[in-house]
A and B are shown apart, each in its own frame.
Chain A
Amino acid sequence: MSRLEAKKPSSCKSEPLTSERVRATLCVLKGILTSSYGPSGRLKQVHNGLGGCVCTTSHSSALLSNLPVTHPILKILTTSMQNHVSCFSDCGLFTAILCCNLIENLQRTGLTPTTVIKLNQQLLRLCTSYLKSESCGCRILVDFSRPQTLLCLVRSIVTSKPASMLTREETDHISALVLRAFLLTIPDNAKDRLILGKSIIVPLKGQRVLDSSVFPGILLEMSEVQLMKILPIKKSDAFKVALFCASLSGDLSDTGEGTVVVSSRVSLENAALEQLLNLGRQLVSDHVDLVMCQKVIHPSLKQFLHMHRVIAVDRVGVAVMEPLSKVTGTPPIGSLGSISPSSYGSVKDLCPAKFGFKHFLHLIPNEATICSLLLCSRNDTAWDELKLTCQTALHALQLTIKEPSVLLGGGCTETHLAAYIRHKICNEPESILKDDGCTQTELQLITEAFCSALESVAGSLEHDGGEVLTDMKYGHFWSTQAESPSVVNWPDLLSRCGCGLYNSQEELHWSFLKTTRHPFAPQTCLPHEATGSANNLTLDCFTAKLSGLQVAVETANLILDLSYIIEDKN
């Protein structure tokens, strides 16, 4: 029964951004995001008052998908960020905070949206072209012969997710595992086109994080009883595998649109079973050692195979079919009839394995790009976060292989970029002003808003009440311990910049991020030895960050451009 309700008229609000309520909610959202940002970010506990699971996180995708957002403007913002995260996994919070900052700062300038958007777009273009250029001072080219850079990247990602609750030792362990898992997915003999394999994350809760490990091949989870049935496995140098995607349960296939008349003497079940047993006989005579089926295997066939010492595993599910076919090196079989010998695959070894309380059948491939990452964690929420973190890191590594460069992390890219833009606009404003009808003052206002938005993203990395500073040579980001004395010798108080590339013992001058300073040209072109020697850099994924920057500016422009919200309230 549907209930009829009177239709409510649609509501139409003009100039949505000027409303106090919108500003307040935007501010709250920004507060939530800012406080979760970075390695020292605070965790958020998202739960429903009525019960259900509790989610402790600081990860943007978990946070944004759980936040109940009602206002259309905020909805645009959060969906935009979620879409970004689903594309790149990383840099979600960076994007969201930057977008909030931009909206706030640009609104405060009080200029017309047209000018704001036009200039914003120009500044963005300046940023992207600088970041992509050769002379960029915050980008490092990745040298794949030295895994150090990649390890730094992974470690930065793992440390920036504090909700996984890792100790330092655990962080190192997990980072190394993730990198190993990734390297296992790279094929040995890459031709012109590199096709990466897949790392499957296998959950194992209630174990120490340090028990996590990586295995080549696939771990198929099964009950102890099942495993005992399989044992003992006869030993041979290679195992012949038949992988079925067709059902082996003996039901009839599609018989078409017409009717099929079966006379009473005929039993189709028997006929189908007979066909299955024929298949079984063929498998046995072909010396198949392992039969795996995506769907169900008929118990009689299973029994038959078991009698002939053929291992039968059914209901593996569609998700592992692709990795399985890669591991065995053969496409799945879709026919119940005669099988050509070429359809069989093989694995190098087959062994039972027990981790914690779980039993697995481990398929070890001859050579394949599939590996299993066994992730252990003490509790559910930490495991969920750890899994997200590992996925993010793996994805970031994949993106890095496509575009082999990384950006300096720890806020240094942001401050450096801001310094670059300030300098550029101060010295050659004509390049931007030439074709638009904007004045120099307008340009300066927007530049200030844009750069301070970038800088305050960097500033939100500091949560413990310390001072945030930038140096006047490289434009990097520095932060101090909390409660530092007011008059100090900066080089003693500061040790290293945000990304860890420079230390404070050089002859540097610092200035507070919040204060205005004279525009300076930050040093471009990173010295090669500097990047090579440094072992403990904080790095960000280049592709994700660049796209995040673009999405943040575009979304901010989109939101600033809104002048009416028409809502159907029904």
Chain B
Amino acid sequence: MARMVVACVSSHLRKTGDGAKTFIIFLCHLLRGLHTITDKEQDSLISKNIQTHRRHWKNCCQWKFISQALLTFQTQILDYIMDHYLSKHFLSVFSSSTKERTLCRSSLELLLEAYFCGRVGRNNHSFISQLMCNYFFKSMACESGFEEVFDLVDDYFVELNVGVTGLPVSDSRIIAGLVLHRDFSVYCPADGDIRIVIVTETIQPLFSTSGSEFILNSEAQFHTSQFWIMEKTKAIMKHLQSQNVKLLLSSVKQPDLVIYYAGLNGISVVECLSPEEVSLIQRIIGLSPFVLAQASSQYEICNTALVKFCKPLILRSKRYVHLGLISTCSFIPHCIVLCGPVQGLVEQHQDALHGAFKMLRQLFKDLDLNYMTRTSDQNHTSSPPTYKTSRESNPLPEIVSGLIQRPYQGTVVKNKGKLAKTQTYLKVYSNLVVPNVELETCIPYSTPKVTPTDTYQTDETLRCLPPTKTRIIDDSEPFIESNSANSIAENTGIEISYENLQVTKIARKGSMLPVREKSLEMCTSQSYCCSTLPAGCVLPVGGNFEILLHYYLLNHARKCQQSEETIVSMIIANALLGVPKILYKSKKGKYSFPQIYVRTLHALQTSQPMVSSQTGLESVAGKYQLLTSVLQCLTKILTIDLVINIKRQPQEMYDQDSEEEV
């Protein structure tokens, strides 16, 4: 079980680079909260003479329902609250004065400072965050291209930094250009017009290529063929020289002969580049590898690029290749030289920096994409008209539950769960923006009531949401588009598949409602609207996000009619408080947790601006991601009823895990 949690945490970390500790704390509080709730319910609902074994199974069923309720919460209520209530508290890292989005350096600094606070020793966290900030601003070519910069740095982080041990951390610096982690095979000092080529195969022709045969009939033939090889190599190098090529980057090891002729022709050679390095260089300067077949002919080699300089760089008596690439994209190549007295410290700083880039990437990019699906659910779920809908359609679940009750003779708990589920259906139904024919055919008795309110609701939502933020899309096309276009929006996929999973599960159980479930699937995939929150949303650190969400969730729970939803909201709201509680644990007096909590709540009720005792910012996208990841992990835990230990087959265990994830 713990292993699964760890797997969940690390997958979350891979994606966002932030929030591992909060993940655990939050999950822990959620589980505790659930425990107390289920204990209470057990006492009240289950008669005492039921044997423990049976109770165990009961528990499992109950947990499963809770987990489904959690999913519902995650996909619907959470997003709604995020959009409607929380968003007014968000700050942005962009300075808003101008029409163009410009990054505000000071807020970025605050953000990074807060991020590194927990990751790098007190010794040098401010130094590292300054370094990172400088790096970012130095390597950004223009204001608009920062997304590309993040992508590139995140993908090629290993290639873009050099670790040096034995020097004080304060010697870390940023150097312009790209540093390759190896030395020149041949170095010929050159200046002026330096052109480079990339090769991916040996320049010297070989006797035979794979799949072919080379037949030697005489010694003379051997001599001539060797002579030909030599002359050919010589010719290629001469040709390169005539094209002003001064540097040869090779992804393979070149034979001695090539190195020799390169040296004779004044061409420096760097061999054995890793595929990552090659692709990084290709991305920066947009240069494709040089194909040898072209070289034989006399016309110009087109696959060359200019570099500003190319020289050896000596760091702690180790030699590196230092290239001044001229960038064709929005990333101006810079490298971070990270120094530290011990290897472990350097690695820790590297990881922290990498995590920070992930966090920023998330902050500036994924938020609006994720939001598409999120907001889509919100519009219909719980805005005021929806309450009306659910209230109005209340007779339906009753009928349905009645229907279920008959064949199953299930316990009250089960019924409750079913109830929750049917309510879910209803909600999903009410998602339909456009009156649906299918819907009418499914539940003829309730449609007349539901449909009009639904249409009304959409109008309402349209009016509710700020016009600049919202676009309502009323058919399936945009959804498909968004799904295919945004390959990064993994979440979308997961959420949907979960929902579908849930649906099909039920389909198997309740065979009496086949039509409805089918239409339900259709509905979920059709009725997506989207509202975009601007990228770069941040909140002050110190549990602000948690307290805010807690407050609004409680409010929501109070308004809420269904007990299941209320319970889930309450559990999550209370668990959220666990994080700030721990944050303020060591503080006393004015800054102790209860004080802060009361002050914030007061400020919220009277709608005053919030006061924050701490400087530093954190990403909202990251927090949101964290919350959903935790909820997903929790549902996964809750749906497992039995852990079977099998020995010496870890591989199989993993397979099962991955199946569950899909």
Binding site for B on A (CB under 8 A): 76, 79-80, 83-88, 113-114, 117-118, 121, 245-246, 253-263, 265-268, 270-271, 274-275, 331-335, 337, 340, 342-343, 547, 550-551, 554-555, 557-558, 561
- Asked if A274 contacts B123 (CB within 8 A), the reply is no
Docked complex Cα distance between A153 and B211 (Å): 65
Give 1 or 0 for each of B337-353: 1 = CB within 8 Å of chain A CB: 00011111100000000
Considering the complex, give the chain B residue whose CB is closest to the CB of A546.
B168
In the bound complex, residues from chain A placing their C-beta under 8 Å from that of B167 are: 87, 547, 551
In the bound complex, residues from chain B placing their C-beta under 8 Å from that of A117 are: 121-123
- Asked if B166 contacts A87 (CB within 8 A), the reply is yes
Is B255 close to A, CB under 8 A? yes
A87-B316 CB under 8 A given contacts A259-B208, A547-B167, A558-B345: yes
- Asked if A334 contacts B257 (CB within 8 A), the reply is yes
Is B468 close to A, CB under 8 A? no
With a 10 A CB-CB cut-off, give which of B123, B213, B317, B341 has the most chain A CB atoms: B341
In the bound complex, residues from chain A placing their C-beta under 8 Å from that of B215 are: 260-261, 263
- Asked if A84 contacts B166 (CB within 8 A), the reply is yes
Considering the complex, give the chain B residue whose CB is closest to the CB of A4.
B648
- Asked if A267 contacts B219 (CB within 8 A), the reply is yes
Considering the complex, give the chain B residue whose CB is closest to the CB of A257.
B210
In the bound complex, residues from chain B placing their C-beta under 8 Å from that of A258 are: 207-214
- Asked if B123 contacts A268 (CB within 8 A), the reply is no
Is B217 close to A, CB under 8 A? yes
One of A83, A86, A335 near B261 (C-beta < 8 A): A335
Docked complex Cα distance between A555 and B263 (Å): 44
**Min CB distance, A447 to chain B, in Å?**
18
**Min CB distance, A546 to chain B, in Å?**
9
In the bound complex, residues from chain A placing their C-beta under 8 Å from that of B214 are: 255-256, 258-261
Docked complex Cα distance between A337 and B232 (Å): 12
Docked complex Cα distance between A268 and B226 (Å): 12
- Asked if A557 contacts B123 (CB within 8 A), the reply is yes
- Asked if B208 contacts A554 (CB within 8 A), the reply is no
Docked complex Cα distance between A204 and B137 (Å): 57
**Min CB distance, A72 to chain B, in Å?**
10
Considering the complex, give the chain B residue whose CB is closest to the CB of A557.
B123
Docked complex Cα distance between A274 and B218 (Å): 13
One of B256, B316, B341 near A334 (C-beta < 8 A): B256
- Asked if A551 contacts B122 (CB within 8 A), the reply is no
In the bound complex, residues from chain B placing their C-beta under 8 Å from that of A83 are: 165-166, 341-343
Is B456 close to A, CB under 8 A? no
Considering the complex, give the chain A residue whose CB is closest to the CB of B211.
A258
- Asked if B341 contacts A84 (CB within 8 A), the reply is yes
- Asked if A554 contacts B168 (CB within 8 A), the reply is yes
**Min CB distance, A80 to chain B, in Å?**
4
13 contacts between A and B (CB under 8 A): A87-B166, A118-B122, A258-B210, A258-B212, A260-B207, A263-B216, A274-B219, A275-B223, A334-B256, A550-B170, A554-B124, A558-B345, A561-B123
Docked complex Cα distance between A558 and B340 (Å): 11
Docked complex Cα distance between A44 and B429 (Å): 83
Is B264 close to A, CB under 8 A? yes
- Asked if A268 contacts B261 (CB within 8 A), the reply is no
In the bound complex, residues from chain B placing their C-beta under 8 Å from that of A270 are: 219
Docked complex Cα distance between A440 and B222 (Å): 86
- Asked if B122 contacts A268 (CB within 8 A), the reply is no
Docked complex Cα distance between A261 and B208 (Å): 10
- Asked if A261 contacts B255 (CB within 8 A), the reply is no
- Asked if A121 contacts B123 (CB within 8 A), the reply is yes
Docked complex Cα distance between A13 and B186 (Å): 51
Is B591 close to A, CB under 8 A? no
In the bound complex, residues from chain B placing their C-beta under 8 Å from that of A274 are: 219, 223
In the bound complex, residues from chain A placing their C-beta under 8 Å from that of B165 are: 83
Question: Given A76-B342, A245-B260, list of 14 further CB < 8 A pairs?
Answer: A86-B166, A87-B317, A260-B207, A260-B208, A261-B214, A267-B219, A275-B226, A331-B264, A333-B260, A334-B257, A334-B260, A335-B256, A547-B167, A550-B170
Is B644 close to A, CB under 8 A? no
A554-B341 CB under 8 A given contacts A260-B207, A261-B214, A335-B260: yes
In the bound complex, residues from chain A placing their C-beta under 8 Å from that of B210 are: 256-258
Is B259 close to A, CB under 8 A? yes
**Min CB distance, A489 to chain B, in Å?**
44
In the bound complex, residues from chain A placing their C-beta under 8 Å from that of B211 are: 257-258
In the bound complex, residues from chain A placing their C-beta under 8 Å from that of B344 are: 76
Is B227 close to A, CB under 8 A? yes
**Min CB distance, B613 to chain A, in Å?**
13
Is B248 close to A, CB under 8 A? no
Give 1 or 0 for each of B309-325: 1 = CB within 8 Å of chain A CB: 00000001100000000
Is B206 close to A, CB under 8 A? yes
With a 10 A CB-CB cut-off, give which of B122, B217, B218, B343 has the most chain A CB atoms: B122
**Min CB distance, A485 to chain B, in Å?**
45
A335-B257 CB under 8 A given contacts A117-B123, A343-B264: yes
- Asked if B168 contacts A547 (CB within 8 A), the reply is yes
Considering the complex, give the chain B residue whose CB is closest to the CB of A562.
B121
In the bound complex, residues from chain A placing their C-beta under 8 Å from that of B213 are: 258-261
A271-B168 CB under 8 A given contacts A257-B209, A557-B123: no
- Asked if B206 contacts A254 (CB within 8 A), the reply is yes
Considering the complex, give the chain A residue whose CB is closest to the CB of B205.
A256
In the bound complex, residues from chain A placing their C-beta under 8 Å from that of B264 are: 331, 340, 342-343
Is B169 close to A, CB under 8 A? yes
Docked complex Cα distance between A12 and B186 (Å): 50
In the bound complex, residues from chain B placing their C-beta under 8 Å from that of A558 are: 121, 123, 341-342, 345
Is B301 close to A, CB under 8 A? no
Considering the complex, give the chain B residue whose CB is closest to the CB of A83.
B166
In the bound complex, residues from chain B placing their C-beta under 8 Å from that of A79 are: 342-343
Docked complex Cα distance between A261 and B207 (Å): 11
- Asked if B257 contacts A266 (CB within 8 A), the reply is no
Is B194 close to A, CB under 8 A? no
**Min CB distance, A268 to chain B, in Å?**
7
One of B168, B212, B227 near A550 (C-beta < 8 A): B168
Considering the complex, give the chain B residue whose CB is closest to the CB of A82.
B166
Interface positions, chain B 147-182, Cβ under 8 Å from A, are 165-171
Docked complex Cα distance between A274 and B222 (Å): 11
Q: Which 7 A-B pairs have the closest CB atoms?
A: A334-B260, A258-B208, A256-B206, A83-B166, A257-B210, A550-B168, A87-B166
In the bound complex, residues from chain B placing their C-beta under 8 Å from that of A257 are: 206, 208-211
In the bound complex, residues from chain A placing their C-beta under 8 Å from that of B168 are: 547, 550-551, 554
Is B281 close to A, CB under 8 A? no
**Min CB distance, A75 to chain B, in Å?**
9
In the bound complex, residues from chain A placing their C-beta under 8 Å from that of B257 are: 246, 334-335
In the bound complex, residues from chain A placing their C-beta under 8 Å from that of B473 are: none
- Asked if B122 contacts A114 (CB within 8 A), the reply is yes
Considering the complex, give the chain B residue whose CB is closest to the CB of A79.
B342
Considering the complex, give the chain B residue whose CB is closest to the CB of A120.
B123
Is B503 close to A, CB under 8 A? no
With a 10 A CB-CB cut-off, give which of B170, B211, B230 has the most chain A CB atoms: B170
- Asked if A551 contacts B341 (CB within 8 A), the reply is yes
In the bound complex, residues from chain A placing their C-beta under 8 Å from that of B219 are: 266-268, 270-271, 274
A260-B216 CB under 8 A given contacts A245-B256, A335-B230: yes
**Min CB distance, B357 to chain A, in Å?**
24
**Min CB distance, A388 to chain B, in Å?**
16
Docked complex Cα distance between A333 and B646 (Å): 63
In the bound complex, residues from chain A placing their C-beta under 8 Å from that of B342 are: 76, 79-80, 83, 555, 558
- Asked if B255 contacts A254 (CB within 8 A), the reply is yes
**Min CB distance, A555 to chain B, in Å?**
5
Give 1 or 0 for each of B110-131: 1 = CB within 8 Å of chain A CB: 0000000000011110000000
**Min CB distance, A193 to chain B, in Å?**
9
With a 10 A CB-CB cut-off, give which of A113, A258, A554 has the most chain B CB atoms: A554
Considering the complex, give the chain A residue whose CB is closest to the CB of B219.
A271
**Min CB distance, A324 to chain B, in Å?**
15
- Asked if B207 contacts A255 (CB within 8 A), the reply is yes
Docked complex Cα distance between A343 and B218 (Å): 31
Docked complex Cα distance between A129 and B77 (Å): 57
Considering the complex, give the chain B residue whose CB is closest to the CB of A84.
B166
